[in-house]
Structure 1
Amino acid sequence: MKFFRLDAAIRVEGSISRSLADLAEAEWTRTFPDAEFVRRDLGRHPLPPVWPIAEASRTTPEDARTREQRAATALGTELADEFLSADAFLLAVPMYNFGVPQQVKTWIDLVITDHRAADVSRPIVPGRPALLVQARGGGYAPGTPRAGWDHATPYLNRILGDVWGLDVVDATAELTAADVNPALADLRPLAHRVLVEARADTIRHARDIADRLRAAPDSRTPAPITV
């Protein structure tokens, strides 16, 4: 069994998205102690901003490509290889400035430069299970002052599910800035409850995915997750 884990938080110590992902990884490791984890940590090791070069390379004849184009193309291939090799996926993504982190967008764009992912109308990992864990400093639920400001979740679900074909479930912690932002001090009890719920959701989803993989260990397109 092979799992792909992506982290994107620029913080390491105290990162909520990383801590949620750790819970999921622990569940999977208990079920599959010999599993391999392919890791891509975009927070600690951001990708170089070479997407324009890789994209230009796609329409450049191979014998006419520059050294920079060849390197950018090779990076896109490496990222796609990592992604396509996995049986299940764990993506830990915080919200920054109401959207996905820049390093996540770069990763997505570079994967799509690979010839296997270039046709965005054809899913590359159809039906494979994925757990998306997110952390957001504020609150964006319906009825809150910033409802509709979450531009990360719709985009991620569009790419991961609609474009790449993953069967995505999610666990989200909101109000994570309440403990450090005086303006959110009154919301700290609510923030703590939301975090407890996010942890429980993460563990539940991770167990469901593990059960699903255990029931269909030789299939890359097992039955959909029941939520």
Structure 2
Amino acid sequence: MATLLHIDSSVFPTSASASRAVAEAFRSTWEEQHPNGTVIYRDLSAVPAPHLTADAHTAGLSDPSEHTPEQAAAFAERVTFIEELEQADAVLIGAPMYNYTIPSTLKAWLDNVILIGRTAGATPTAKGTPVTVIASRGGSYEPGTPREPYEYVRNYLTAIFADALGMDLEFIVPELTMAPHNPAMSELVPLYQASREKALADASLKAKALTDRLAA
């Protein structure tokens, strides 16, 4: 049966997190379609991936037979993350925008899984695997908006997942999530609500379409 790798990185619980809520809608539909499937779940806020160290980095560039004990231990952790990515039939990523970019915990996970000569390079081992990113944000960074130049989430993750790892990338973007909490954005609440409803619906639709595609 199919395996879904689900990564959350929001610091907030589902009740207060757009990325977690939308990811949950995707996952619920996925599990309905794959009742006997496997979900590998990592909550990077609760259990962060270790930041890349010199030992973990250099171990990825050298022969395992030459590793020091420190390199071997550090690289073993990287391999765990890498194998989860390689074994997944689909990947779901919750990536809220914090200070114009992704959470540091998600960046740490990416630093562990990106390995030239394996997951990245001429023949990336997760090439073609579908990855859906829930890129929530407090405002709007769409083309034509004043903050468009500060969109460092989708462009960065496109460079990583599509270009470096060769994965089949799609985004779902619930935006204006700060509107209910910021009085200065109160007039945008209806747009926030519409964006959230669309994101939840899109999550279910994409999960269903993906399960149908994988079953074909």
* TM-score, normalised relative to structure 1: 0.87
Aligned to 2:100: 98
1:149-160 to 2 correspondences below 5 Å: 149-160=150-161
Stretch of structure 1 that moved more, 198-207 or 16-25 = 198-207
1:26-175 to 2 correspondences below 5 Å: 26-59=28-61, 62=64, 65-113=67-115, 116-117=118-119, 119-175=120-176
Supply the AA of the counterpart residue of 1:72. Answer: A
C-alpha change, 1:61 and 1:146, in structure 2 (3 Å) is: same
1:204-219 to 2 correspondences below 5 Å: 204-215=205-216
Aligned to 1:195: 196
Aligned to 2:11: 10
Give unmatched runs, 5+ long, in structure 2: none
- Give the root-mean-square deviation of aligned CA atoms: 1.8
Answer whether contact 2:7 2:42 (CA < 8 A) is retained. Answer: yes
User: Size of the alignment, in residue pairs?
Assistant: 214
Answer whether contact 1:77 1:114 (CA < 8 A) is retained. Answer: no
Answer whether contact 1:80 1:111 (CA < 8 A) is retained. Answer: yes
C-alpha change, 1:25 and 1:74, in structure 2 (3 Å) is: same
For 1:141 and 1:167, how far apart are their aligned partners in 2?
A: 22
Stretch of structure 1 that moved more, 172-181 or 59-68 = 59-68
Q: Secondary structure at the match of 2:95?
A: strand
Supply the AA of the counterpart residue of 1:135. Answer: S
Give unmatched runs, 5+ long, in structure 1: 216-227
For 1:59 and 1:120, how far apart are their aligned partners in 2?
A: 13
Aligned-pair CA distance for 1:56: 2.5
Q: Secondary structure at the match of 2:71?
A: helix
Q: Secondary structure at the match of 2:173?
A: strand
Per-residue CA distance 1:177-203 (angstroms, 9 max, x = gap): 111112211211111111111112111
For 2:202 and 2:146, how far apart are their aligned partners in 1?
A: 25
Aligned-pair CA distance for 1:115: 5.4
Aligned to 2:24: 22
Answer whether contact 1:80 1:114 (CA < 8 A) is retained. Answer: no
Supply the AA of the counterpart residue of 1:172. Answer: V
Which of structure 1's runs of 4+ aligned residues deviate more than 6 A? none
Aligned to 2:186: 185
Aligned-pair CA distance for 1:175: 0.5
Supply the AA of the counterpart residue of 2:133. Answer: L
Answer whether contact 1:73 1:113 (CA < 8 A) is retained. Answer: no
Aligned-pair CA distance for 1:120: 2.7
